[in-house]
Every structure is written in C-alpha cells, then in structure tokens.
Amino acid sequence: MGELHDDRPLAEEEPNDKQDCTNDEARGAGAEAIQAEACVQGGGDNQKKGIVRDVTKELGGLRYMKTINYMSTHADSYRHLSNRSYLRLIKAAETRLSAQRKHFLPKKRLQALHTELSNGDVIGITTSMKGMDIAHMGLVVESDGVAKFLHASMSGGKVELSAGSLGEYLEDHPSHTGIAVARPLEPAR
C-alpha cells in the first residue's frame, strides 16, 4: 500500500499528494474541487436530500484517504479568501473532507467499466495534485455506445463533449488518476 505524508494507508493506485500545482488551470480548479466533493464523494447534502447516490464503491472503487487543503494553502489565488471568516469556513470544509472515506475508480480500469456508467452520472475527476482530490467534474453522456465526458472546459472556455471516451479523456491528462461517480436518483413523488 502507498502512504501519504500523514501516514494514513492508501490503495496502491490512489490519487496522491506528490504533484504540486502551480498553473492557473489547477488554481482555478480548487473552488470546483470543494463543490465537486460535496456532490460526488459521500454525496454531501445532495445524497442526504436523495438527489444523488455515490456509486463509486459498488462499481469496484478503491478506498483512499487524502489531506484536502488546496484552497486554504493557496488562499491568495481566491480573492474571497482574503476574508478571514471565509477562509475559516474553507479550512473547516477541508478538514471535514479530509476525514471522509473516499473511493475512486483508477483510470486504467475505466475501459472495463464503461458499460457500468450511466447516461447522466456525475463524474468527479480524481487527481494527483497535492491537497486536492477532485480537480474537475462533468457528466457521462452516452454517444454511439461510448461513455463520453460532458464538461466545462477550462482551456476551451465552453461546455464540450470529449471527442473520445471518458477513459481516453483521462489518459490525455497525466494528473487525472481516475473518477468518483454520483448517480442521480429519480425524484420522490
């Protein structure tokens, strides 16, 4: 098993804390990471409200722990975090997220899992970036029998559908380690 600096055991293929992030794209991903985490890992309020269900573990996801602290350690990249009360809230959220058990599906396993993903699944892209576990998010869209990734491209500045499969999208991004999956539920009547 691999280990992080805080000595919590991890799966061998976990998103790790080894890669630090200094580019603009990654700094912009920090706020998205907190939002994505609330939706995907553990479902946050959306799971409690019966909107989504985290299906990562049941799809064969590996368990991992990771210290989440990207936004608080890069507070100068977020203008609202100059407000100390907001920074305290972010630190509290990061502490809560760090304590949660998380699961992810490694990108090398996605080809075998593409039939298990459903149209509309909410995908959190796990990352090797230090202090962050979910770096980007989007939706599964099935097109010609292929699970593709619909997302707001940071580089393209618009919503786009991946040209290839979700797995191919992940392979094109070295810091992307895999996915977490939240499945939307039918509304209660």
Confidence (pLDDT) at 49? 83
Confidence (pLDDT) at 187? 79
Residue 60 contacts residue 109 (beta carbons within 8 Å): yes
Orientation angle between helical segments 84-99 and 24-39, nearest 10 degrees? 60
| Three-state SS at 122 | strand
Residues ≥6 apart with Cβ < 8 Å to 183: 52, 53, 54, 55, 118, 120, 121, 122
The CATH code for residues 24-184 is 2.30.260.10
In the chain, domain spans: 24-184
Per-residue pLDDT tens digits for 6-34: 333 344 444 444 333 333 444 444 454 44
Q: Which of 17-21, 46-50, 171-175 has the lowest mean pLDDT?
A: 17-21
Per-residue pLDDT tens digits for 78-110: 998 899 999 999 999 999 999 988 999 999 998
Rounded to an integer, the average pLDDT of 52-75 is 95
- Cα–Cα separations (whole angstroms), residue 31 to 2, 39, 68, 135, 138: 27, 13, 12, 9, 15
Q: What is the pTM of this model?
A: 0.77
Confidence (pLDDT) at 139? 97
Rounded to an integer, the average pLDDT of 107-124 is 91
Query: What are all long-range contacts of 40-45, with beta carbons under 8 Å and residues at least 24 apart?
Result: 40/122, 40/123, 40/124, 40/134, 40/137, 40/180, 40/181, 40/182, 41/97, 41/100, 41/102, 41/103, 41/124, 41/133, 41/134, 41/180, 42/100, 42/101, 42/102, 43/182
Confidence (pLDDT) at 22? 37
